[in-house]
Structure 1
């Protein structure tokens, strides 16, 4: 079945079907003429995906559900997450109602500490600790690894070290034009679908040889642009230089990264794979080293 008919049958847009294929959720046969031929199994999976997405289930969780031999158990994990979100939302609602009746901030602080903060993910805690451009930088670059919670004393200690470090180190002072640039960039990322970008990065790291082979032309253009006068005069270049200077002059790697590895198991695993991928990349494109030097 061709994609036009699939869209009607599954009540999905063409972009949605293509996206689910990119995420590896379906694998339609490709005919000699280049058209995709979707099987009955593909259609069944797409209907399943569409249903789960309408229930607010993430792509990552859907992958686990599709691969699971016990659908009920996989769905139970998703329900548990939703229950926690509902509990957090109800606690926030109750706190708002208390503030409406008696605008007692001290009482609200106590209530939040006892009933709401325990539900916060690491990302939520960091965004509240560091509002503005600095928090957005953390979210964009590390948010995908910070969806867990602080559930051990070791992680609590690592989190506190990260917060103390970020709060006392000579932080980057974002010029107004770069702050606006970052804000605009974050908005664009949300529209594109942050999850898709994060998945693409992880897939590239996990399959670096395939990525380099399939994107040889684009990588060449990217390296050429990064060495151009146009890039060197751009706000993006200014931001990159500020970030590189910050990392080189502070304890970014010794304190922030080392404790982030303790705080997030997924980040630690990703970093190990990233180091291997970086070595492969530099071996093939040694000129990349010059790009990241001040």
Structure 2
């Protein structure tokens, strides 16, 4: 079909089609008479481009999604980016609403904005960008609640700069598609609210580890997990390969020494969480000594 037929089929102007041709999102065969001829598939491609543009995708996003081997995974990553942008917008709206209700109290609003929009809050975006894909989204969701305090002391400033340096230097090469799906399935990435709920439930259990261990159903779940982790089945599972990939990356990049240690300096809330987690691990190991074999 010729360009005017393509435009009619897609509801686009010639200018728009030419722009997508220039950007390499669309290709056309040029005939001897100079006319460009398009295939039926180009109609589908243009409808996909139009849909992505309506969803707010930029040219780089569209190029990545259209060329992806796994279209679903690429769309899921774009969805996570949209969610991050929405969270940023909601935070700005929240600060603005507070300022509108208290226009003369600039100092209080400034302190409030420092928590939601200041440097620590910006780390959530940096984390997601440093580790593209579900791993970065998980880290941003996990650490996000601990990044709501303003940078006040010189030690916090030094810790913040060290974290930024680590995120800039970390060479995350991603993970094989099979392992990426394993992580998404394990953590429930299909539903952001579900994932957030899982993280909150984990923190609740850590805060009340004694109550958790008193519940026989919880103890049974722990026994089932340990049985799987110590089984021959685990040795050949995607879960083990995923665990090894993340472990090797963290060791090579200095994740604990450069990222975790400095995050504890930056965020008193996170430091307290790590201490509670260490106490919970100690009590869990006391209740289930076989858990010590996981680190062998």
- Please state which band the TM-score falls in when normalised by the shorter chain: 0.5 to 0.7
The SS at the match of 2:190 is: helix
Alpha-carbon separation, structure 1, partners of 2:169 and 2:286: 37
Cα distance, 1:118–1:257 mapped onto 2, change above 3 Å: closer
Aligned to 1:209: 210
Alpha-carbon separation, structure 2, partners of 1:170 and 1:83: 35
Alpha-carbon separation, structure 2, partners of 1:129 and 1:117: 19
1:234-273 matches, within 5 Å, as 234-273=237-276
Q: CA deviation at 1:165?
A: 2.1
1:138 and 2:149 aligned = no
**What's the CA shift string for 1:27-69, capped at 9, x where partnerless?**
xxxxxxxxxxxxxxxxxxxxxxxxxxxxxxxxxxxxxxxxxxx
Aligned to 1:48: none
**Aligned 8 A contact 1:172 1:246 in 2:** no
1:84 and 2:95 aligned = yes
1:192 and 2:171 aligned = no
**What's the CA shift string for 1:143-197, capped at 9, x where partnerless?**
3323445455543432221232233345464223223433454523525251x32
- Counterpart of 2:225 (choices 195, 198, 222) is 222
Alpha-carbon separation, structure 1, partners of 2:135 and 2:202: 22
RMSD of the TM alignment (CA)?
3.3
Aligned to 1:105: none
Aligned to 1:282: 285
The SS at the match of 1:187 is: coil
Aligned to 2:162: 161
**What's the CA shift string for 1:200-227, capped at 9, x where partnerless?**
2122112212211212111111111222
**Aligned 8 A contact 2:132 2:174 in 1:** no
Cα distance, 1:159–1:80 mapped onto 2, change above 3 Å: closer
**Aligned 8 A contact 1:122 1:148 in 2:** no
Aligned to 2:61: none
**Aligned 8 A contact 1:172 1:243 in 2:** no
**Aligned 8 A contact 1:121 1:147 in 2:** no
Cα distance, 1:133–1:199 mapped onto 2, change above 3 Å: closer
Give the length in aligned residue pairs: 186
**Aligned 8 A contact 1:123 1:139 in 2:** yes
**Aligned 8 A contact 1:121 1:149 in 2:** no
Q: CA deviation at 1:80?
A: 9.6
Q: CA deviation at 1:86?
A: 6.0
**Aligned 8 A contact 2:124 2:140 in 1:** yes
- Counterpart of 2:234 (choices 231, 234, 251) is 231
Q: Bigger CA drift: 257-266 or 128-137?
A: 128-137
**What's the CA shift string for 1:68-124, capped at 9, x where partnerless?**
xxxxxxxxxxx998532669xxxxxxxxxxxxxxxxxxxxxxxxxxxx975854313
Cα distance, 1:117–1:290 mapped onto 2, change above 3 Å: same
Cα distance, 1:130–1:238 mapped onto 2, change above 3 Å: closer
1:42-57 matches, within 5 Å, as none
TM-score, normalised relative to structure 1: 0.53
Mark the structure with the bigger radius of gyration.
2
**Aligned 8 A contact 1:122 1:147 in 2:** no
The SS at the match of 2:166 is: helix
Runs of 4+ displaced beyond 6 Å: none
Cα distance, 1:85–1:279 mapped onto 2, change above 3 Å: farther
